[in-house]
Amino acid sequence: MLDLAVQRLPVSPVRKISEMIEKASNKHRIISFGGGAPSLAPPKEVLDFLCSEFKRDAHAASSYGSTKGMPRVRELITDTLKREERVSIDPEKELCLTEGGTEGLFITFRTLLAPGDQIILSDPTYLAYYPQLSFLGDGVTHLPVHLQDDFQIDVNMLNEAMTKRTKAVLILSPDNPTGRLLDKKVLKAIVQICEDKKVWLITDDIYKDMLYEGKFHNAREFSKCDNIISCCSFSKSASMPGFRLGYVYGPASFIERVAAIKSYISLCPSRPAQLCVEKYLENRGRVKKKYLEKIVVPTYKKRRDAMAEMIERYLPKAEFAIPKGAFYFFPDMSRYLTRMDEEEFASKLMEQKQVVVIPGKYFGEQGEDHLRFTFVSEPKERIEEGLSRMAKFIEENKL
Amino acid sequence: MLDLAVQRLPVSPVRKISEMIEKASNKHRIISFGGGAPSLAPPKEVLDFLCSEFKRDAHAASSYGSTKGMPRVRELITDTLKREERVSIDPEKELCLTEGGTEGLFITFRTLLAPGDQIILSDPTYLAYYPQLSFLGDGVTHLPVHLQDDFQIDVNMLNEAMTKRTKAVLILSPDNPTGRLLDKKVLKAIVQICEDKKVWLITDDIYKDMLYEGKFHNAREFSKCDNIISCCSFSKSASMPGFRLGYVYGPASFIERVAAIKSYISLCPSRPAQLCVEKYLENRGRVKKKYLEKIVVPTYKKRRDAMAEMIERYLPKAEFAIPKGAFYFFPDMSRYLTRMDEEEFASKLMEQKQVVVIPGKYFGEQGEDHLRFTFVSEPKERIEEGLSRMAKFIEENKL
């Protein structure tokens, strides 16, 4: 018999869909508003550089390296943090590369929290946090956030939610699934509460480069930093999710433990992925800057705007906020969900119209009657096509 | 405060050395008999194919995929198992790709064993098993193996070591650090004991392609297989450790749980790594076969033979076996270690002569007074140079 935590761990709906789409014979017919997978290729310079490194020294470009990552890549990451977010991190002791953001979060949770410890998350938020945390035996306190408050965290409620067992607060900004960017003063208040109560603040910054409006603030702007841990990834920013590279930074004593754990989970980060990031960040982020400013942000902003327009046109009874960052709309669909819940809606929509959306309940209790649509995967015409299929689905099913 | 398992997790000496060498300014002066990192580049066809895939469809070659791996790559792996080891595995349900062998082992342990469960390992064996298992709260029973028995596992002793708490037996063949290949009849007896006692048998097959003498047997030759789980990796066989790709196969119900856990640890395997393996295995393993037969095995066999000769010449008082497979010699150095233990020897040898070796005690109690030398990293002349520096070190330190 397997132990309970292993038996009970659910399979993520996004992963199931990923597997289903990979096997589908009619891939092109499927319109995916499902997983948050960038539809752009990584910058050409990055892949060209990797291939030139294979030519220059194929052995070195394919070899093991230190668990925390190549020294040069770690320095480029901390230089970037300095330049873009005005935070000083020691590349040697305060930073560790990880297999995408997922491993960074998993190891962070495992390092900071012991079974029974409490962590506070907003609800809704990223769906994989819950199973990651429950698998590790950690307790989650949910902090409801609402469309009418622009999904901002209620700081008084956070204060009240803290107990003796609270070990950490986790924030994701810009958020998945709501697209909400935390207000500067809300962020500042959260940082101060965590500092006062001596609680870890974990910031998941995976979408920080995916901003259409507003400005991203690093939580360290408001703190002496010794209780802040940040996780990030190149999967979204550099459109290289298949390379599996992210990073986590925080106090040296914490990072030392992260690296020890990582060495027994995955040994060391991917070398080809690190070479890509070397090119992406070198020369004061020349490639990154150009790629984000000229390609990524304009492309996704256009799609976001198109999706907002199409939701209004085809789903006039849905209520939603325009996301400031990240890749998602999270409309409240309750006025269409009188005869089926959002899970049944999503599953029948896929069956009947080959449009993939994610049921809101996976993102937390507050996500009930919502659907998550990503606008990152499909170009404008297919966004329109997907929403018009949805309207037909609603009509045909009399919803 | 971090919990005890996190606090106590040691940093592997091989990882420390990897970090130290990566930072060293005098890299070329260092002769490494340390980590088991292939010194060959991956097959040229493999890297060329990857770069052509980047040109053909950069987005697809950099994108997420299903957690268990690309269907085509999974099929190529099971075809290879069928052809080379005569075992039939369902690529859809009985196989999951992993971030190198390390993740495969970590998730296998986490899936099968609950805290307090017992697993039986030979002693000495691969040094990372111990911290992986103790981190997970699992108990290890050590089964001493000895040079005079060619490091074979004593089957009666294994039988006696089993208790009600024994949940699994782990075998590594060819072995690290001893280079021992399990005899067919010993393997058969182990399989039968595990079957009789309804205990999992985990086989770590990472070195199965690194054979200089004898024949590798898949444990399934002797069993109805429903209690056997095998972990493997492309790091050694295809000289692509920096790509981080391995796989684990076993009963469908077990693999389903492995994939669920993997999805929350690292989401999905590296796509570029999978593309490399696609080329490596396609056409009935044409690239693999040629690469192993013409390049890998002859190169390492020559080095192995050179190292055997040099140990005899420069360390005449060391006792050792010639490894049949894998990358290591594991000489008993007790006659040189009268004034310092092997850890001090290794550390002073590095300081004074810039030769890296790994102290035997990390591989288990039976490893005391031994050193592990890998012959995989250095060409013949440097193997000679390293051993002659060691002889000088012994002379200068009057050992």
Question: Which one of B58, B111, B131 has the shortest CB-CB distance to A6?
Answer: B111
The verdict on B128 touching A (C-beta cutoff 8 Å) is yes
β partners of residue B98: B246
Hey, what are B244's tokens? 């981080």
| pLDDT at position A36 | 85
Is A47 within 8 Å of B54 (Cβ atoms)?
Answer: yes
Rounded Cα–Cα distance for residues B66 and B83 (Å)? 25
* C-beta atoms of A18 and B58 within 8 A: no
* C-beta atoms of A35 and B64 within 8 A: yes
Residue A371, classed as helix, strand or coil, is: strand
Terminal CA-CA length for chain B: 44
A274 φ/ψ sector (left φ>0, alpha ψ -120 to 50, else beta) = alpha
Q: Please tell me which residue of chain A has the smallest CA distance to B116.
A: A3
| pLDDT at position B225 | 79
The verdict on B61 touching A (C-beta cutoff 8 Å) is yes
Testing the interface with B: which of A64, A236, A377 to mutate, by most B Cβ within 10 A?
A: A64
What φ, ψ does residue A62 adopt, rounded to 5°? -120, 10
Terminal CA-CA length for chain A: 44
The verdict on B318 touching A (C-beta cutoff 8 Å) is no
Rounded Cα–Cα distance for residues B113 and B167 (Å)? 7
Chain B residues inside the 8 Å CB shell of A240:
62
* C-beta atoms of B41 and A62 within 8 A: yes
The verdict on A242 touching B (C-beta cutoff 8 Å) is yes
In this prediction, the residues of chain B whose per-residue pLDDT falls under 70 are: 1
Question: Which one of A22, A66, A265 has the shortest CB-CB distance to B71?
Answer: A22
Nearest to residue A323, comparing CAs of A309, A308, A342, A313? A308
Question: Which one of B18, B19, B102 has the shortest CB-CB distance to A265?
Answer: B102
pLDDT, chain B, mean: 95
Hey, what are B185's tokens? 């009849």
* C-beta atoms of B242 and A64 within 8 A: yes
Rounded Cα–Cα distance for residues A174 and B244 (Å)? 30
Tens digits of per-residue pLDDT, A103-113?
A: 999 999 999 99
The verdict on A167 touching B (C-beta cutoff 8 Å) is no
* C-beta atoms of A242 and B50 within 8 A: no
| pLDDT at position B1 | 64
Minimal CA separation from B317 to chain A, in Å: 33
The verdict on A24 touching B (C-beta cutoff 8 Å) is no
Chain B residues inside the 8 Å CB shell of A39:
59
Tens digits of per-residue pLDDT, B268-296?
A: 999 999 999 999 999 999 999 999 999 99
CA B299 to chain CA centroid, Å, is 19
pLDDT surpassing 80 at residue A293: yes
* C-beta atoms of B265 and A103 within 8 A: yes
The number of beta carbons lying within 10 Å of the beta carbon of residue B196 is 10
Tens digits of per-residue pLDDT, A222-249?
A: 998 799 999 999 999 999 999 999 999 9
| pLDDT at position B14 | 78
The residue type found at A275 is L
Nearest to residue A104, comparing CAs of A262, A218, A267? A262
* C-beta atoms of B257 and A9 within 8 A: yes
Helices (DSSP H) in A58-199: which residue ranges? 58-61, 71-85, 100-112, 129-135, 155-161, 184-196
Q: Please tell me which residue of chain B has the smallest CA distance to A110.
A: B6
Confidence (pTM): 0.96
* C-beta atoms of B42 and A62 within 8 A: yes
Cα–Cα distances in angstroms (integers) from residue A394 to residues A332, A335, B318, in the given order: 15, 11, 79
* C-beta atoms of A242 and B39 within 8 A: no
Question: Which one of A64, A100, A239 has the shortest CB-CB distance to B18?
Answer: A64
* C-beta atoms of B243 and A39 within 8 A: no
pLDDT surpassing 80 at residue A66: yes
β partners of residue B335: none
Hey, what are A33's tokens? 């508003």
Nearest to residue B34, comparing CAs of B328, B235, B323, B309? B328
Segment A71-79 long-range contacts (CB within 8 Å, at least 24 positions apart): A71/B22, A71/B23, A72/A278, A73/A97, A73/A274, A73/A277, A73/A278, A73/A281, A76/A277, A76/A278, A76/A281, A76/A282, A77/A247, A77/A277, A77/A281, A78/A249, A79/A281, A79/A284
| pLDDT at position B47 | 98
Rounded Cα–Cα distance for residues A17 and A6 (Å)? 21
Is A96 within 8 Å of A247 (Cβ atoms)?
Answer: yes
Cα–Cα distances in angstroms (integers) from residue A250 to residues A184, A200, A232, A247, in the given order: 21, 10, 12, 10
Hey, what are A179's tokens? 């697209």
Rounded Cα–Cα distance for residues A293 and B135 (Å)? 44
Testing the interface with B: which of A7, A263, A376 to mutate, by most B Cβ within 10 A?
A: A263
Nearest to residue A85, comparing CAs of A237, A209, A168, A210? A209
Minimal CA separation from A260 to chain B, in Å: 5
Minimal CA separation from B6 to chain A, in Å: 6
Put simply, the chain B residues between 340 and 359 with a CB less than 8 A from any chain A CB are: none
Helices (DSSP H) in B57-173: which residue ranges? 58-61, 71-85, 100-112, 129-135, 155-161
Rounded Cα–Cα distance for residues B268 and A15 (Å)? 9
The verdict on A114 touching B (C-beta cutoff 8 Å) is yes
Testing the interface with B: which of A267, A268, A279 to mutate, by most B Cβ within 10 A?
A: A267
Written as one string, the DSSP assignment of A295-339 is IIHHHHHHHHHHHHHHHHHH-TT-B----SBSSEE--B-GGG-SS
Cα–Cα distances in angstroms (integers) from residue A169 to residues A184, B125, B261, in the given order: 17, 41, 23
Q: Please tell me which residue of chain A has the smallest CA distance to B233.
A: A266
Minimal CA separation from A272 to chain B, in Å: 7
Chain A residues inside the 8 Å CB shell of B72:
none
Residue B297, classed as helix, strand or coil, is: helix
Rounded Cα–Cα distance for residues A285 and A187 (Å)? 27
The residue type found at A138 is D
Any idea what the Cα angle at residue B154 is, between residues B152 and B160, rounded to 5°?
A: 155
* C-beta atoms of B243 and A271 within 8 A: yes
| pLDDT at position A21 | 77
Helices (DSSP H) in B225-270: which residue ranges? 252-265
The verdict on A244 touching B (C-beta cutoff 8 Å) is yes
| pLDDT at position A255 | 97
The verdict on B9 touching A (C-beta cutoff 8 Å) is yes
Tokens 């000083």 correspond to A88
Is A187 within 8 Å of A222 (Cβ atoms)?
Answer: yes
* C-beta atoms of B50 and A47 within 8 A: no
pLDDT, chain A, mean: 95
Is B120 within 8 Å of B158 (Cβ atoms)?
Answer: yes
Segment B16-19 long-range contacts (CB within 8 Å, at least 24 positions apart): B17/B356, B17/B358, B18/A64, B18/A65, B18/A66, B18/A67, B18/A268, B19/A66, B19/A67, B19/A68
